[in-house]
Chains A and B, each alone.
Chain A
């Protein structure tokens, strides 16, 4: 069963309401900040609480502009940001075996697993819940994202992890309207046509008529192969 199928009944709340619920329900809850337009979550959260926890995954491959932006956000809001890193041994092993750009040949999954998922999982063991900037309009794999959900990916036998996606129902346009209306700082890469910002080798700018997902892992298929069990009837 997929965690994203476990949507709670609480839908169509404002992002601020979702954040309030997260802060009310959990002491150990942290905002995941990617250094992109999800900065709006930090802006909203700072208006709701004096003590928010924010973390950022430093894969080691981010753009210089993203590092500068993370620092700017830290200063602008006067907050601590936990920058978390991959296991050095895991990265070294991957690079030694396959080089620094194996994702162009073999796909990005292995590199993302080591540089993002492994450290994220370790960090979340200390948390009861996390908050992300995931939106349904970001990619086909996010079309079911709920505002609140049980996150079975990071749950254990002892603890059910909760995941809050306050922006799930928002469009990219709504996020940018909020940024403009509230003078929220943003990553300068957006001014150069980057609509989605990830690691430098795996991110590129997109044309206005392209979906933002096309700016990531463009050498791979738009949708990943799936592990579903659906009967497929072939035409004779």
Chain B
């Protein structure tokens, strides 16, 4: 199995906050060691490796994970699903709720 982590660089050159948060969680949990490759998707540079991979796989959000195993390629744009389904890890429901809201901003308006 090969796992690729793609994180975004914003137009101002700073890392995307959510990407930074996900990377922090990966490091705190020790799961960063299970990431085989980290690619940068620099929105100012369509030729950056992460932007090219996103384009190839038709991924429109960042961060994302690409998991290659037994010839299959699977993309995860939701961190907690990646942790549960690929790494076999646990996340807490508060963190999961925060990510759901981040990815679905209209949910706060209920």
Say yes or no for B46: interface residue by CB 8 A criterion: yes
Contacts of A172 in B (CB 8 A): none
Say yes or no for B77: interface residue by CB 8 A criterion: yes
Contact with A along B1-35 (1 / 0, CB 8 A): 00000001001000011100000000000000000
Contact of B109 among A1, A4, A138, A229 (CB under 8 A): A138
Query: With A109-B101, A230-B43 in contact, is A4–B11 under 8 Å at CB?
Result: no
Structural contact, A1 and B110, CB atoms closer than 8 A: no
Contacts of B106 in A (CB 8 A): 4, 134, 139, 141-142, 145
Q: With A and B bound together, what is the CA distance between A113 and B104 in angstroms? A: 11
Q: Tell me the count of chain A residues lying within 8 A, CB to CB, of chain B.
A: 43
Contact of A113 among B8, B11, B94 (CB under 8 A): B94
Contacts of B100 in A (CB 8 A): 113, 117, 121, 153-154
- List 21 interface pairs A-B (beta carbons < 8 Å), by A numbering: A1-B61, A4-B104, A32-B110, A87-B93, A87-B94, A109-B102, A116-B108, A117-B97, A118-B93, A134-B106, A216-B109, A224-B105, A227-B18, A227-B61, A227-B63, A229-B8, A229-B43, A229-B60, A229-B62, A230-B43, A231-B43
Binding site for A on B (CB under 8 A): 8, 11, 16-18, 41, 43-46, 51, 54, 59-63, 77, 93-94, 96-98, 100-110
Binding site for B on A (CB under 8 A): 1-4, 32, 34, 57, 87, 90, 108-110, 112-114, 116-118, 120-122, 132, 134, 138-139, 141-142, 145, 153-154, 196, 198, 216, 224-225, 227-234
